[in-house]
Chain A
């Protein structure tokens, strides 16, 4: 497997359960306010359902559930980030709020911290430092690969310095 390291570049930052995350801008197609989502029967818990994206029906993932956080009510800040994955398939992910785009140089990126079950964490590709915050950089496409089931992990212990 290739190294899971984040590259220098632009990242879209968003918040989930109070924590800041970053997505490589290349995979982001658009950002929408949260709208109507049709639940799909028998779907995994982290799949919120499907939505209408200008005439296309795309799946929507509840990222809180995916990352193992508790569900929360949607607020007016809640957004759907539409990412484009493998083979051009688009998926929407529900996040608590979207912050903005940060430019991370190589020196500002550190490799992902090692955690117990590495195989499940392969979508965390690094830690970015920007304005004294630590942003958890994720590869959303990998996070939504079917092998990665919802996982509970605790980042606090590893967010030292």
Chain B
């Protein structure tokens, strides 16, 4: 390649990155537009962004992008001078334009530059602009109701029965429920410039964010753009450094060497821990973009379903490991679809129940201890407990309907519960709640469901701050090292009394500890049923989901920090094992997943009973 070619190639690559970034900011701005009090500024920002995308695109030689950007720019140029003319339909149209541009930029980045026909979209944008130019004056009604009531009557959205229990029983994918498109006569009416916008039809409202997003569209002066791969490579090396340091420390402590060496090693330990913390913080990224995606989805779905939805988010600045945030997007979007399709009831049903016509979906994130909790809560009809149990019995997933509320609700996560071959157009793949749960568990998180009939349904995801580094207690079972995460450990004890046996099998023994009876899990049997525990073993009391158990091991060595390595492979996937960790001597120690272990053991116990 000549230097000229190289220059152009770099220019094009940089343009695509910049365009992608600008398009994301545009979408953010557009979504907040409907409720923003300073629409003029936001629209001006949007105009400038599209103008840049157009201009730089021309220089970089992306005529396809330029064409569409130009048409959008024209529309925005009109709109910024007449913010009152912003209708929901226009916002939807612009969002569509942004989507198309985003797809095109992505395709160009991958080198897929096939022919691309956006004539229809462009025509609609041009038409909208013409319409604006002609109308000039927006039809403003004194009585907001008159204008939109006729339209509300025109569209008769079909609704899926909220009692269909989140579509878990559906044999076919749910049809999009509104067959009539929102017409351009539906206009947002403003009574006064400072009053929030009031509409009569299904529109997505956002809780006003603290600062106007339009003004924060500028890049912070203190941030820089770095290629993600480079960062990941550096962070991987920090991970390896942590392991080597751990190995070094173990060796040094075994031999009592000279004090200077000891103190140098102690200093090394401190420095590496600090580096580790900082490296982790680089990987952290706020949940806000994900929540905004959810907001966008909620808006689109609410229009399609003809249901009025209010989307409230909080804690969007809470941060999580970057890779985890990426993995969370699909499950969250799936849960939102369920909440809107099946959770929130129709306006009539809500009115009849004395509820506010506008359904609320609340998503919030917060850091609790060493974990992040994300809750999605809708004030819809709740999960139909009886129907769920009936269906599970029918499918042979459970034997008896004798279940607690929690057990009943958690049935929705069982593989095979939903027979629908749902093709979610969010992800384009078949998705079910069991896949959602598996995805969350892959991140070493878990999901809890709570619901009250007629009132609400709430999903709470609990995730570790990062999937990478774990603090654990090292134990020996049958001569092999095992680790249990420290936040699951409650107590360590020598069994005072002999174990009382209630039968054979892994979870059948019990022990009395500090006045309480705890089930004993003889890890030896779980690992290999020919292994026998030593007579002078130790008990490690662990807790998960409110239940405690005592793990019987041969020896407890101490606490250590390890990098958790996933064992994501069909051959070695094991409930109860979160992954592997490399020890100081190079051996692999299995890291326990307490929740999975107790669940598996209880399952075996129930089966044997």
Contact = CB atoms under 8 A, between A and B. Distances in A.
A38 B526 contact: no
B243 A55 contact: yes
Interface string B578-591: 01111000111110
Contacts of A39: 480, 527-528
B580 A50 contact: yes
A51 B579 CA distance: 12
Given A40-B577, A43-B571, A91-B569, A52 B582 contact: yes
Given A52-B586, A52-B587, A59-B569, A38 B580 contact: yes
Contacts of B571: 43-44, 47, 59, 61, 91, 144, 146
A41 interface: yes
Interface in A8-58: 35-36, 38-44, 47, 49-52, 55-58
A76 interface: no
B245 interface: no
Nearest to B569: A59
Interface in A35-90: 35-36, 38-44, 47, 49-52, 55-59, 61, 89
B589 to A, nearest CB: 7
A61 B572 CA distance: 10
Given A55-B240, A57-B580, A50 B588 contact: yes
Contacts of A144: 571
B565 interface: yes
B574 A36 contact: no
A52 B243 CA distance: 13
B254 interface: no
A50 B572 contact: yes
A34 B576 CA distance: 27
B587 A38 contact: yes
B528 A41 contact: yes
A86 B576 CA distance: 25
Contact of A57 (B565, B574, B600): B565
Contacts of A50: 567, 572, 580, 588, 590
Q: Which has the most chain A C-beta neighbours within 10 Å: B566, B571, B575?
A: B571
A52 B526 CA distance: 22
A38 B590 contact: yes
A138 B287 CA distance: 48
B570 interface: yes
Interface string B271-308: 00000000000000000000000000000000000000
Interface in B243-269: 243
Contacts of A61: 571
A144 B580 CA distance: 21
B528 A36 contact: no
A41 B587 contact: no
A52 B584 CA distance: 12
B579 A57 contact: yes
A65 B419 CA distance: 36
Nearest to A37: B588
A146 B570 contact: yes
Nearest to B587: A36
Interface in B505-562: 526-528
Contacts of B589: 38
A118 B540 CA distance: 50
A57 B579 CA distance: 8
Given A43-B574, A55-B240, 7 more contacts: A36-B588, A38-B588, A39-B480, A42-B574, A57-B567, A89-B569, A91-B571
Interface of A: 35-36, 38-44, 47, 49-52, 55-59, 61, 89, 91, 144, 146
27 contacts: A35-B586, A36-B588, A38-B588, A38-B589, A40-B574, A40-B577, A41-B527, A41-B528, A41-B574, A41-B576, A41-B577, A42-B526, A43-B574, A50-B567, A50-B572, A50-B580, A50-B590, A52-B580, A52-B588, A55-B240, A57-B579, A57-B580, A59-B569, A59-B571, A61-B571, A146-B570, A146-B571
